[in-house]
Amino acid sequence: MGSIGLVTPQQMHFSEPLPLKSGAALVDYTLVYETYGTLNADRSNAVLVCHALNASHHVAGRHGDGTLGWWDNLVGPGKPLDTERFFVIGVNNPGSCFGSTGPTHVNPATGGHYGADFPVVTVEDWVDAQVRLVQRLGIEQLAAVLGGSLGGMQALDWSLRHPTLLRHCVAVATAPNLSAQNIAFNEVARRAIVTDPDFHGGHYLAQGTLPQRGLRVARMIGHITYLSDDAMEARFGRELKAVDGRLGYTTQDIEFQIESYLRHQGDKFSAYFDANTYLLITRALDYFDPALPHGGSLTRAFAAALGKRFLLVSFTTDWRFSPARSREIVKALVDNRIDVSYAEIDAPHGHDAFLLDDPRYHAVMRAYFDRIGEQA
The residue ranges that bind a second copy (CB under 8 A) are 21-24, 116, 120, 177-181, 183-185, 187-188, 190-192, 194-197, 201-202, 213, 216-217, 220-221, 224, 227, 229, 232-233, 235-238, 247, 249-252, 255-256, 258-259, 262-263, 266, 276, 279-280, 282-283, 286-287, 289
Residues in a beta bridge with 47 = 88, 144
Q: Give yes or no for a contact between 282 and 288, defined as CB atoms under 8 angstroms apart.
A: no
Is 22 among the residues known to form the active site?
A: no
The neighbour count for residue 8, using CB atoms within 10 Å, is 8
- Least gap, CB of 260 to a second copy (angstroms): 9
- Least gap, CB of 348 to a second copy (angstroms): 13
Measured CA to CA, the distance from residue 221 to residue 97 in angstroms comes to 20
Q: Which of 82, 125, 318, 352 is catalytic?
A: 318
Measured CA to CA, the distance from residue 98 to residue 227 in angstroms comes to 24
Report the residue number, 262 or 372, with the smaller CB distance to a second copy: 262
Report the residue number, 10 or 22, with the smaller CB distance to a second copy: 22
Is 318 among the residues known to form the active site?
A: yes
Give residues with Cβ within 8 angstroms of 244, minimum separation 6: none
Report the residue number, 191 or 268, with the smaller CB distance to a second copy: 191
Beta-strand relationship, 29-36 and 87-91: antiparallel
Residue 236, judged by CB atoms within 10 A of its CB (0-12, 13-18, 19+), counts as middle
Is 168 among the residues known to form the active site?
A: no
Report the residue number, 55 or 281, with the smaller CB distance to a second copy: 281
Amino acid at 117: D
Three-class SS state of 28? coil
Catalytic residues: 149, 318, 351
